[in-house]
Amino acid sequence: MIDSKYLTILREVHRQNSVTAAAEKLNVSQSALSHMVRKFEERHNIKVWIKKGRGLQFTHSGRFLLEMAERVLPQLEYAETVLSEHSRGSVGELRVGMECHPCQQWLMQVAAPFLSQWPDVSFEVRTAFSFDGVKALQDFEIDMLVTPDPVNVEDLRFEPVFDYELVLVVSDHHPLSNQSTVTPQDLINQDLITIPVDTDRLDVFTRFLIPNDCRPKRHITVETVGLILQFVAANRGITVLPDWLVSLEGATLPIKTLKLGDQGLFKSIHLGVRQGDEAISYVSGFIDLARETYT
């Protein structure tokens, strides 16, 4: 394996046309540089240059190595620059996985300033909501996980960035609209509309209905939040959504939000990263932006 330092020496000697000048440029003594070249020649049983008058003439082997130096060294120098930028967190890749269907709208508000502040960082969002986000993070398939349900895993770190309340959304004309809060029993005879996610991943079921041995009359799934709110506004059912999302997408609709139980149902959006990655500048920058972004 040829050490790049020998290629650097040959390139500098060629540029300076002088061993003495090259040694000065490389901050080594002339004798040290000559010794390194001599050891290299002995190892490969070649000569890289011969003296010709006051100058030097590169041999066939020397010209071959010089051409290689001109090709390889710029690439190695570029690699050093990129790795240095990576270490500072100014260049890199951030692949964000989503386990929170309604969080897409929130994430887009974070993404806009992030893309502006970190133009050299590749940014990708994966919205496969059925995937195992924790495993994807551990397996380096993604670099960050957006989730309302953090887990205690040794090699991962979850940062809370945004608190919100889950609220019941009903039409202004719905019988429940006269109430400020609802009980699980109030939903027994209702058509509950949600996004197409298993009930074991829906807090209205796992934290509100099922613990109280209650079920809605019907559970209807609709693909988008906007369409869900249109159904609710038309009094075709009720839904449970984050309060910020209702404010964002339902501000002009004839709907009302109600508290789930006397204490309400509160959640936090968390950003999960691999332990240590939070020190990367663009990762910590994204987390900071997420904490500053409110809908």
Structure token pair of residue 212: 């109280």
Residue 263 is predicted with a pLDDT of 92
Residue 1, pLDDT > 90, answer: no
The pLDDT tens digits of the residues spanning 197-219 come to 889 889 999 999 999 999 999 99
Structure token pair of residue 38: 């001599």
- Rounded to whole angstroms, how far apart are CA atoms 195 and 231? 12
Residue 54 is predicted with a pLDDT of 76
What number of CA atoms fall less than 13 Å from residue 19's CA on the CB side?
A: 20
Q: Please compute the mean of the pLDDT values over residues 47-75 and round it to a whole number.
A: 89
- Rounded to whole angstroms, how far apart are CA atoms 162 and 146? 11
Are the CB atoms for 212 and 188 separated by under 8 Å? Answer: no
Are the CB atoms for 98 and 127 separated by under 8 Å? Answer: yes
**Beta strands, E only, the chain:** 49-52, 55-58, 92-98, 121-126, 144-147, 156-171, 181-182, 191-194, 218-221, 238-242, 255-260, 265-274
What count of other Cβ atoms lies within 10 Å of the Cβ of residue 122?
Answer: 10
Q: What is the pLDDT of the chain when averaged over all its residues?
A: 89
The pLDDT tens digits of the residues spanning 95-149 come to 899 887 777 778 888 998 999 998 988 898 887 545 678 888 888 888 999 998 8
The pLDDT tens digits of the residues spanning 174-197 come to 999 999 999 999 999 999 999 888
Residue 273 is predicted with a pLDDT of 94
- Rounded to whole angstroms, how far apart are CA atoms 289 and 75? 35
Residue 129 is predicted with a pLDDT of 47
The pLDDT tens digits of the residues spanning 19-41 come to 999 999 999 999 999 999 999 99
Residue type, 146: V
The pLDDT tens digits of the residues spanning 225-247 come to 899 999 999 999 999 999 999 99
pTM, two decimal places: 0.65
Phi, psi torsion values for 264, nearest 5 degrees? 80, 170
